[in-house]
Amino acid sequence: MFRFVFACFFLFAAGLSAAELPLSPRPASVEVQAGSYLLKDGSAVALQGIPQADFLLSTLSEAAKMKFVQAGNGTAPITFVLKKASQGTSPEAYSLEISSSGIRITGDEAGLFYGAKSLGQIVSGASKADGAAKLDNLKIHDSPRYGWRGFMLDESRHFSGEAAVKRLLDAMAHYKMNRFHWHLTDSPGWRIEIKKYPRLTSVGGRGSETDRSPNAPAEFYTQEQIRDIVAYAKQRHILVIPEIDMPGHADAANIAYPENDGGGFRRSGDKWIRFTFNPAKAETLEFLDNILKEVAELFPDAKIIHFGGDEVNFGWKQWDSLPEVQELMKKENLKDKDAVEGWFNRRMAGVINSLGFKVAGWDEIATRGLAKDKTIVYWWRHDKPQVMRKALADGYPVVLCPRRPMYLDFIQQKEHKVGRVWGGFNPLPDVYNFPAALKLTEAQERNVLGVNACLWAEVMRDQERRDFMTWPRLVAVAESGWTPADRKDYASFEARLKPELDSLKARGFVTLYDPFEKSPEVRDKKEVKALKALDQPD
């Protein structure tokens, strides 16, 4: 009884409900105990034998908004203990104990990092006097619900740049997100340097969704920048997964190297007439093989290359007239263009697998006969839940990223006008409560890797607008991916979110959406009118 009353007092003082802490995402298990510990500014931290000790120390100091120093031998107020994860235990799990004798964080390398983030949040939110924080004694045992907690940034339609990406990675790491899906190629622009084919960036990297003028600047990442960003993410326990779209969404590459053009489509106001690669031309296949080899060298730790594979049927009309396609259909006994696409998918997946990588793709690839132990399916078509359920039943690992509620290009408040609406929109509560509405069975859950939000940038020309559409919905995604289903509570999330908005603004996301104030819509400085989405029904 005393412990419960004490816990209620602690949380009342923090402005939160009972059995709560100022932590986002919410931990799996928290036990608040009697007593407290006074943590002084400048305290020593024991990090003997801990990898990246200096970075871990700076991470803790930054999160706590206090300065700590590394201890020599012997005891210290804060101790990190490296404990390799046992089989069946998440390497991201950690335990955090605050007692009258000090603070102890235990876990594998990723677990220690997340433990430092959690301790930092607790210290940052604690009452302070004379440079010391009063911390209530507690025990936290924490582990993620899903091993995949991701975010996809579309850089083809409108380019973000190195500084914006690093700022994003810092914020993702703060909320214990661990997968950055980098959409680097698409019809509007090619954003990754490929040494063997320099015109991919000098020509294909020119312009954007809203600027196709001949003098538009080429915007892309050099290989040196990519290696730097990949290393930056790795230090923060984030894997960077590149996406190189094929055989559709290929206009930028085909403008640079038109000999690989497989044709596209033309509707009123449309501009993607070189939408596909030629799926059967030997020289085009060699071109793509060489690109994938360079991509694999740039992302060695990802062990996954996403190759798109979506919406190809919107632009494959001209395949009927390509001699290479006709020859392939006869040789391989392929009955139609859908079978040609399947052949292409299997062929390119084999190349990716031979490089030592799994292949990932949008959910269209689930019917292409790809190896289940070497393939990851991204379920994105929210109006086709049967596709997701079939992929899970077939044994494919699945990342849940349906347009509703995980696409952040959908509006988040009904009064907003710029962004997608499809039988509704994606407000913060819907994002937070995902994936409960899917009512997945225990057997289905076993093949779910996790959750992934996607920011498509057709109507996001300016960084301020991208920030507005991303935050704080990405905080909700982080908690959906980390916190056990039985620990999720939207009222708790709202209470913890209020101080997080200030934290995000301090990180530079000053144009974020405030759900408590119902922020007016942040629009691009120059109004953007995007093409009608291909998958949007008339």
State the catalytic residues. 186, 249, 311
Angstrom distances, CA of residue 489 to CA of 78, 119, 504? 31, 21, 21
Q: What residue has token string 């710029």?
A: 418
The residues with which 150 forms a beta bridge, in sequence order, are 179, 452
- In DSSP notation, 437-498 reads GG---HHHHTTEEEEEEEE--TT--SHHHHHHHHTTHHHHHHHHHHS-GGG--HHHHHHHHH
461: alpha, beta or left? (left if phi > 0; alpha if psi -120 to 50): alpha
Beta strands in 256-389 (DSSP E): 261-263, 276-277, 304-308, 358-362, 375-379
For strands 128-129 and 148-154, give the pairing. unpaired
Compute the distance between CA of residue 436 and CA of residue 412 in angstroms, rounded to an integer: 19
Task: Round the CA-based radius of gyration of the chain to a whole number and report it.
Answer: 24
| Calculated CA dihedral for residues 364, 368, 373, 377, nearest 10 degrees | 0
Phi, psi of 91 (to 5 degrees): -65, -10
Compute the distance between CA of residue 280 and CA of residue 278 in angstroms, rounded to an integer: 6
Three-class SS state of 278: coil
Give CA 227 to chain center in angstroms. Answer: 18
Contact indicator for 140, 104 with CB cutoff of 8 Å: no
Compute the distance between CA of residue 389 and CA of residue 395 in angstroms, rounded to an integer: 10
Burial, 517: exposed, middle or buried (Cβ in 10 Å; 0-12, 13-18, 19+)? exposed
Q: At what angle do helices 282-298 and 223-235 cross, to 10 degrees?
A: 50
